[in-house]
Chain A
Amino acid sequence: MQGLPAIQDIVNLAAKIITSRTFLEIVVFPGFLNVFVGAALLTWLERKVIARVQLRIGPLYAGMWGILQPIADGIKLLFKEMIFPELADAKLLMVCALGLMMIAAAPVVAIPFGDGLVIANMDVGLIYVFAAISLFPTLILLIGWGSNSKYSFIGGLRSLFQQVAYEIPMWLSVLGIVMLTGTLNLTDIVRAQEKLWFVVPQILGFVVFFAAVLAELERIPFDLPEAESELVMGWMTELTGAAFMVGFLAMYTKLYVMSALITALFLGGWSGPSILPQPVWFLLKTFLVATVIVIIRGAFPRVRVDILLRTGWTRLLILAFANVFVTAMLIWLGFGWFWRV
């Protein structure tokens, strides 16, 4: 009889933790389940939208409009044999796939999905998000090297160059927003857009940021690291079964998180008429941005590697610097107070 109250205490404590706001935020809404389900839905959305672009029908039989197709794919991949080539480091590949998932989901900690609906309200949110994103090339190069396959290694090298080249324009395009608002906190940046979204005064920055995001996501027109007609599947060629599932889901998680970042930085975040709740507005805008990115995949050809690098280092960089000067002029002319927090 002595032990029972202790068990009762433990149960109470567990119930208190599970029903606490922080735990629910981490596990359910702005946190893990949101990202996981969002990424799974994006794989379905991509197949459906690409099918419509190409006058096909796309997934149809699993659930209504084939919406349960991601679950069927997941179960299929989970039971497939994991084949790793000879001399490939199987453990390294699996750990790197797990690491990709961790890094892809990490920025969501700082992104606000509603007023106050954010896991950690960081003062350095923007820097944290960019720091997390810039860890990707390392892991991708490790996967390419560890696969012991030429396609994987070339894909990893190309991915490194591309992501490194487009990081600088991506950072500089956001500098205008930091100058206007005077903060790095993403919640404050969204609050500053209640009068006018940043896509209007920062249109140059938006264009540069969008192009850089396409390159960071390795999507058409910048999908050189996994160019299907040259490199089979790029650095993912030798990932099989469950490891491929986790790596593939990580790339769609990244797409989801970057769409959310574009929404928060340029499209006003949760702001919208109050007929719908704030998170619904945020998710609507996020899926709209993701749909545009998917349609771009259906509509454009792939660029050449030297064009990609020269465009990133000359035109996008010049446009990003021009954006900084335009923003400086805007503040000198006295329009800065409009977006101050």
Chain B
Amino acid sequence: MALDSWSLVAIFEIVVVITTFPLLVFGWVMSAKGRNPIRDAPFESGQTRLGEARLRYMMQYYPYLIMFVALDVVAMFLFTWGLVFASLPVAQDYLFLVFLIVLVVPLGYALYLSGRRESW
């Protein structure tokens, strides 16, 4: 009986779940269930808790995340190019390297912009 790769992955994950999940259930069943306002407070180094935890934090370095969205796709396509690189004619290699260089220029400008505090 030959199984394909993805069903093997699924079986492996099922093995992980049926060996790890009982540990969590065991810990949940065995642990004490007493409730106490002091013990239930979130840990803040022993100080009295102030305000909510789910605040709106300042998303510093936000431009880096936007750069990720663009470069992620590019990196994925580069893998398909790398697979056939050695068998492509050299002229097409040049084309792709030109594409890479063209990519590096806006990347450098984005890095310059994301280093400035006012765009955070």
Contact = CB atoms under 8 A, between A and B. Distances in A.
Contact of B64 (A27, A313, A332): A313
Q: Is the interface of B mostly helix, strand, loop or mixed?
A: helix
Interface centre among A97, A122, A178, A237, by most B CB within 10 Å? A178
B83 A182 contact: yes
A164 B24 contact: no
A119 B42 contact: no
B12 A106 contact: yes
Contacts of A324: 78, 100
B24 A246 contact: yes
A237 to B, nearest CB: 6
A238 to B, nearest CB: 7
Interface in B41-85: 41-45, 53-55, 57, 59-61, 64-65, 67-68, 71-72, 75-76, 78-79, 82-85
A29 interface: no
B47 to A, nearest CB: 11
B118 interface: no
Interface in A116-158: 119-122, 126-128, 145, 147-154, 157
A167 B87 contact: no
Contact of A98 (B21, B64, B79, B97): B21
A58 interface: no
Nearest to B104: A321
B72 A148 contact: no
A245 B23 contact: yes
B17 interface: yes
Contacts of A102: 13, 16-17, 20
A83 B12 contact: no
B98 interface: no
B5 A97 contact: no
B12 A26 contact: yes
Q: Is the interface of A mostly helix, strand, loop or mixed?
A: helix
Interface stretch (A2-10, A73-81, A210-218, A284-292): A73-81
B14 to A, nearest CB: 9
Which 4 A-B pairs rank lowest in CB-CB distance, beginning with the nearest?
A242-B27, A149-B42, A120-B5, A85-B42
Given A128-B9, A145-B54, A168-B71, 14 more contacts: A94-B28, A101-B16, A102-B13, A119-B12, A149-B43, A153-B55, A167-B72, A168-B75, A171-B75, A171-B78, A184-B83, A241-B31, A313-B64, A313-B67
A74 to B, nearest CB: 8
Contacts of A238: 42-43
Interface string A223-250: 0000000001000011001110110000
Contacts of A98: 17, 20-21, 24
Given A86-B41, A102-B17, A153-B54, A310 B115 contact: yes
A175 interface: yes
B84 A153 contact: no
B58 to A, nearest CB: 10
B99 to A, nearest CB: 12
B12 A243 contact: no
A12 interface: no
A26 B97 contact: no
A243 B61 CA distance: 31
Contacts of A78: 23, 26-27, 30
Nearest to A85: B42
Contacts of B95: none
Contacts of A65: none
B7 to A, nearest CB: 9
B12 A101 contact: no
Interface in A308-341: 309-310, 313-314, 317, 321, 324-325, 328, 331-332, 336, 340
A32 B11 contact: no
A54 interface: no
